Structure 1
Amino acid sequence: MNKKYAPLFEPAYIGKLKIKNKMAMAPMGPIGYADPHYAYNQRLQDYYVERAKGGIGLIITGVTTVNVDVEGIEAPGMPCVTKCPKAFVHNASQMNERIHAYGTKIFLQMTANAGRSTMPGMVKNMIAPSAQGNRFDPSVQHREMKKEEIAQYTKDFVKGAMIAKRAGFDGVEIHAVHEGYLLDQFAIAIYNHREDEYGGSLENRLRFATDIVKGIKKACGQDFPVSLRFSLKSCMKALRQGGLPGEEYEEAGRDIEEGVAAAKILVAAGYDALNVDAGTYDSWYWNHPPMYFEEEGMYRPFGEILKKEVNVPIILAGRMENPDIAVEALGKSCDIVEYGRQLLADPDYPEKLRMDRLKEVRPCLGCHEGCLGRISKGPISCAVNPACGRESIYGITPAMKKKQVLIIGGGVAGCESARVAALRGHKVTLVEKSDRLGGNLIPGGMPSFKHYDHDLVTWYEHQLKLLNVDVQLNKELSVEQIRNSDNDVIITATGSKPIVLRQEKLKKAVVADDVLMGRVHVGDQVVIIGGGLVGCETGLWLAQKGKQVTIIEMQKEILGGPHGMPFMNYSMLTDLMKYHHMQVLTNTMVEEVKDDSVTVVQNGIASTLSADTVISAVGYKSENTLYEAIRDLNKPVYNIGDSNQVHNIMYAIWNAYEIVRNI
């Protein structure tokens, strides 16, 4: 073990509960992991056991509701601790026995659900502390909760804690005076306009949350640990409008002063630990930080404030996978360091850190594509770890017959193919015509906020070296050489190329890849043709360098609209574009590119924009020429990644994993 990281492996305490190290797994929603009885299905059990096996000291489960009837949550969806207690105890007990075998403790996180923050269509009954519009669709109205419903929820939290204790959980966490969920909506004045004992003063607005912990302590005993998911600050300028890091604005939700006061009331009521972050659904990127947060450990200032104000342990997440940052935070900002998506990407992170094998840690990209970005499509997983959430049914198994596998192309799909093939015992050769691995991740990772893409390339390079993959750079094979090779399986992963505007009037535009790689000089006035992800991210990167940037998009919305990418990413990227004064012209066509200007047409009206540099970011096209030339070989030939279909990093990895694990 590297001695400077030793503090992370010292024991921690929550109340009288001893935890083997100072590292915890952050709660992440297990939507879709419930069986027909609302109990934990086998996939969810295996998912948590895998993280225990990886060395984490404390697991805090994702949200498990205490009541599905008030809001009308249909199965199979979120697990519920009270709906069928016998089934819940039966499934959770066997999971917890396995987790405890590794010396890991586990808390059940229980929720009162989302109130006005629920996504329309997910529940039948739209409720909230007070009558108000839905966060995502203001036309959808939520009615004010009845006092009888609040009392029912409170009883169900207590009942849920008793069931959790019987099922072998070491404690519970209450979800949440955090992120603008239902309990948080009661706590924040902008959402709570009640005039009864649950509204008005801060003490009244926190009554729901304090009654819950008092009831649990009475029923389960004072020594049964109860933590609270808690956002110190709301980070919102208004309803549905977040405040960016470093931006000056007047807090519309809970400010730090009220957050400190709330924390003191909650701890006095009996909470044994605060699991701290910042934000609400109205500033969603604070709770689920995309890659655009360039500061790692962004919650440390909030933890440091609370450490001085309350005398219970502070648990802190927020991109803490850099162990230097984690060690620095211990004692100053927190007592326990919490890891979320990093444990989806690599469940063995704690053990790899302990054994000084940090180069082997698969990095989280901060992309949200495999986790929260796909909740509507299925249970959460991970873009870079296809086995996440399906550990027992989708792992890598040794091949029955060892084969010689030739992979052509060293982008992310080719690298994942080589990794999986080698793990299965095949003899693997990977040929890449350039001087480095990475493919489109190299230009894509050039903006500072995308450096995790380059970290992934570095990880693949190290993995392929450890697995003895024969990597041949600066080499291009002819069709004839491939046809005459004695390989048993051939995989083409030749990627994609930027679409070049070939119309005579548009030829002066340069492609975004050349800009990102520094192959062209960029002037001060920049026009970007294409408002997709590449265009907007390239534009943001240039705007951060002081360039005046205009985005031209022919569709009515950039980035495919709010549903075209994970919403927290979309929200933060568009807010950053506004913050950096980027001009966006939608429903607009480029008519002509000249040396110092661009002619555009919007709604039938032509205008001219000054431009030193015009950048084309209109997409990529598959480079599948090689595959088409060899697809008729009398042996298996697979075409994967962008050379098959232009998509994102997640599908390049997932498709490669799926194909090669079956070769």
Structure 2
Amino acid sequence: MSTSVFSQVQHPELFEPTRVGSIEVKNHYAMGPMGPLGFSTAEGGWNQRAIEFYATRARGGIGLIITGVCQVTNPADGVPPGLIPNPTLSPGLFLTTSRDLTERVHAYDAKIVLQVGAGFGRVIIPGVLGGRRPVAPSEIPYRWDPSITCREMTVEEIQGIVAQFRIAGMVAREAGFDGIQVHAVHEGYLLDQFAISYFNHRTDAYGGSLGNRLRFAREVVEAIHESAGADFPVQLRFSPKSMIKDFGVGAMPGETFDEMGRDMDEGIEAARLLVSYGYEALDVDVGSYDSWYWSHPPMYQAKGLYVPYARQLHEACPEIPLIVAGRMDDPELAAAATADGTATLVSLARPTLADPEIVNKLQRGRRDLVRPCISCQEGCIGRIEKYSSLRCAVNPLAARELERPLPQATDRTRMRVLIVGGGVAGMEAARVLAERGHLPVLHEASERLGGVVIAGGQPSFKEDDLALIAWYERQLAELGVEVHLGSRVDAELIRRSGADHVLIATGSTPRLLDLGEGVPVVEATDALLDQDSLGERVVIVGGGTSGCELAISLRERGIEVTIVEALADVLKKNAPTCMANHAMLHDLVAYRGVEVLAGVRAEHVTDAGLLVSVDGEERLVPAQTVVTAIGYKPRHELEAEVKAAGIPYHVIGDARRCANIMYAIWDGFEVASQLAK
């Protein structure tokens, strides 16, 4: 094994046994809950894919697994059967499949808590709603279409849900779960809507005072204890602060604003009441569906973003055990949060998608081998939004663990594979081929692996993109992959390569814009790599992801920035982007003081800046440099040479279709995992 600067275990105290409420845990790490889309049988049990998914994370060292949310039957929401597991739809089947799950997890000395939700209410997605009118505590705007007013739930509907939790508690205990986590007085789900006065305008026993607004949550925990016993651990997913400025409008980090949801004072008061009702631990974050980039933090949010709020809660209520999430994959952050008692357990959700072995690797002192989560949210939240299936951008086998082990090459089937291009698609292909026992030979024209991700990783908030490149470099080195840097592939090299197969992973090339003579015109990739040379005033032509991220990065340096966008707004035409990432990047552009000229056409540069056309009239936008960020086009000119050589080949990554890191990695994995003579 190679030596590393991380060869010593960092913070061994994180791997000491602890207790969260009445549950003993072997270390201080929990696996955070993630929507179990694609994990349900048609009757609401766990499918084999789900069981393997959680067992893999237990084998990876997690102390406490919190399952993704399983909904009880809620006719008011009308979630269709089979979308997510349901302990009350077919209790017998759920119990049987859960037994398989809990026994597999317990074999690794891990504990597992079943997260069970009361419903969505006003935040239920349109595809699930099926044309029905959404419900809520009161007649308030529907989250996804404010022109629709939600129907107020009846007391009978509330009591029906409480009764379902009575069944769920009994089933969970019989199935071998170590407890239940109720979902949730957090993120603006149904129980949270009842708890927040901004959403709850009722005048009956479920509205008015804080105690009344928490009555629904109180009756739920009491029902679980009635059926499962007073000693059965019940936790609660809880947001002490909502970060809501208005319906559908969230607050920026550090922004001074009037909290329309739950503020910290009420959050602390609510926490005390909830624990007095019978919840023995709180799983803490902040945010809501109206401020979704807090509940699902993109790379634009700081690491450990929930810790300051959890610390306030801990200082006010030190007796309450807290599980704390929020980009906590850095052991330094985790150790600091547990050292002062803020976090009893540190929760890792997306990092366990990216690397199921993260805890084991940290415990072995091999942080350098941890495949980093890049907080793109495309494989997790993005795939759930679009395809109702949990995945991961950087780990193509996430939620596909049944496909392990990869098919191995034999002496008869082993191939020499020429990979042209050292971006993430090419590196992933080389890694997978080497793991399978093939002989990949990678050629990269530049002097460094990483492709366009090197430039994309330059902003301060994209450090994990660079960490991903470093991870690939270490993987290829440890696997002994033959890598040639500064090696431009041509027809001659292809002919004498002796390759049985060629993978063309040459990436993309920027689309260029001829703006004439005047101030310097720089393409976005070059601008990202040399931001300090652009001057004090910069105009960016193109308001896609690259243009907006560059603008925010330049503002961090104190540079004045104007974005010129031909469409009606920034981020209108873009590579796939998860809603939380898209919304936060869009809001950050205005919050950081970037001027946006939308519906404007760039004409040509002058010695003073950029001339643009606004409603048919020319206007000068002062600038010392103009940056073009108008997208990319696939680059696969070598395809003809490979065809002429008669060697089988595939085109992968951006060379096939310009998209994002996820699709480049998935291309590399898919082709390399199945490649055969």
Is TM more than 0.5 here? yes
**Residue 302 of structure 1 corresponds to which residue in structure 2?**
309
Q: C-alpha displacement at 1:334, in angstroms? A: 0.7
SS at match of 1:629: helix
Q: C-alpha displacement at 1:507, in angstroms? A: 9.2
Cα 1:535–1:10 change in 2 (3 A) is: same
Q: C-alpha displacement at 1:520, in angstroms? A: 7.6
**Residue 290 of structure 1 corresponds to which residue in structure 2?**
298
User: Which of 355, 359, 367 is the matching residue for 2:364?
Assistant: 355
Q: Is the 8 A contact 1:406 1:429 kept in 2?
A: yes
SS at match of 1:370: helix
- Which amino acid is the alignment partner of residue 22 of structure 1? H
- For structure 1, which segment, 256-265 or 595-604, has the greater mean C-alpha deviation from structure 2 after superposition? 595-604
1:535 aligns with 2:536: no
Aligned residues: 662
- Which amino acid is the alignment partner of residue 340 of structure 1? A
SS at match of 2:291: helix
Deviations 1:271-305 (A, max 9, x none): 11000010111111111110001x21111112212
**Residue 194 of structure 2 corresponds to which residue in structure 1?**
186
Please give the alpha-carbon distance, in whole angstroms, between the structure 2 residues aligned to 1:606 and 1:156.
65
SS at match of 2:284: strand
SS at match of 1:497: strand
SS at match of 1:661: helix
Q: C-alpha displacement at 1:562, in angstroms? A: 10
1:611 aligns with 2:626: no
Q: C-alpha displacement at 1:172, in angstroms? A: 0.4
**Residue 269 of structure 1 corresponds to which residue in structure 2?**
277
1:214 aligns with 2:222: yes
Q: Is the 8 A contact 1:2 1:356 kept in 2?
A: yes
- For structure 1, which segment, 338-347 or 526-535, has the greater mean C-alpha deviation from structure 2 after superposition? 526-535
Please give the alpha-carbon distance, in whole angstroms, between the structure 1 residues aligned to 2:271 and 2:21.
17
Q: C-alpha displacement at 1:23, in angstroms? A: 0.7
- Which amino acid is the alignment partner of residue 344 of structure 2? D
Cα 1:267–1:561 change in 2 (3 A) is: farther
- Which amino acid is the alignment partner of residue 543 of structure 2? G
Normalised by the length of structure 2, the TM-score is 0.95
- The aligned runs of 1:205-604 (5 Å cut-off) are 205-293=213-301, 295-310=302-317, 311-332=319-340, 333-375=342-384, 376-393=386-403, 395-400=405-410, 401-502=413-514, 504=516, 508-518=520-530, 521-560=533-572, 565-604=577-616
SS at match of 2:265: helix
SS at match of 1:592: strand
**Residue 20 of structure 2 corresponds to which residue in structure 1?**
14
User: Which of 613, 621, 625 is the matching residue for 2:637?
Assistant: 625
- Which amino acid is the alignment partner of residue 311 of structure 2? E
- Which amino acid is the alignment partner of residue 373 of structure 2? C
SS at match of 2:393: coil
Please give the alpha-carbon distance, in whole angstroms, between the structure 1 residues aligned to 2:546 and 2:243.
28
SS at match of 1:537: helix
Q: Is the 8 A contact 1:412 1:457 kept in 2?
A: yes
Please give the alpha-carbon distance, in whole angstroms, between the structure 2 residues aligned to 1:3 and 1:661.
33
Q: Which runs of 5+ in 1 are unaligned?
A: none
- Which amino acid is the alignment partner of residue 423 of structure 1? E
Q: C-alpha displacement at 1:436, in angstroms? A: 0.9
Q: C-alpha displacement at 1:8, in angstroms? A: 1.2
Please give the alpha-carbon distance, in whole angstroms, between the structure 1 residues aligned to 2:100 and 2:335.
34
- Which amino acid is the alignment partner of residue 115 of structure 2? Q
Q: C-alpha displacement at 1:509, in angstroms? A: 2.4
Cα 1:508–1:501 change in 2 (3 A) is: farther
1:640 aligns with 2:646: no
Cα 1:76–1:218 change in 2 (3 A) is: closer
**Residue 89 of structure 1 corresponds to which residue in structure 2?**
95
Q: Is the 8 A contact 1:55 1:351 kept in 2?
A: yes
Q: C-alpha displacement at 1:247, in angstroms? A: 1.2
**Residue 65 of structure 1 corresponds to which residue in structure 2?**
71
Q: Which runs of 5+ in 2 are unaligned?
A: 1-6
User: Which of 183, 191, 195 is the matching residue for 2:203?
Assistant: 195
Cα 1:563–1:450 change in 2 (3 A) is: closer
RMSD: 1.7
SS at match of 1:180: coil
SS at match of 1:392: helix
Percent identity over the alignment is 44
SS at match of 1:191: coil
Please give the alpha-carbon distance, in whole angstroms, between the structure 1 residues aligned to 2:255 and 2:609.
32
- Which amino acid is the alignment partner of residue 192 of structure 1? N
Deviations 1:335-366 (A, max 9, x none): 11110100000000011111111111000000
Deviations 1:25-57 (A, max 9, x none): 000111232211011111111111111111101
Q: Is the 8 A contact 2:519 2:609 kept in 1?
A: no
Q: C-alpha displacement at 1:606, in angstroms? A: 3.3
User: Which of 30, 39, 42 is the matching residue for 1:36?
Assistant: 42
- Which amino acid is the alignment partner of residue 294 of structure 2? W
Q: Is the 8 A contact 1:505 1:591 kept in 2?
A: no
Please give the alpha-carbon distance, in whole angstroms, between the structure 1 residues aligned to 2:212 and 2:447.
64
Q: C-alpha displacement at 1:76, in angstroms? A: 3.0
Q: Is the 8 A contact 1:74 1:123 kept in 2?
A: no
Cα 1:13–1:562 change in 2 (3 A) is: farther
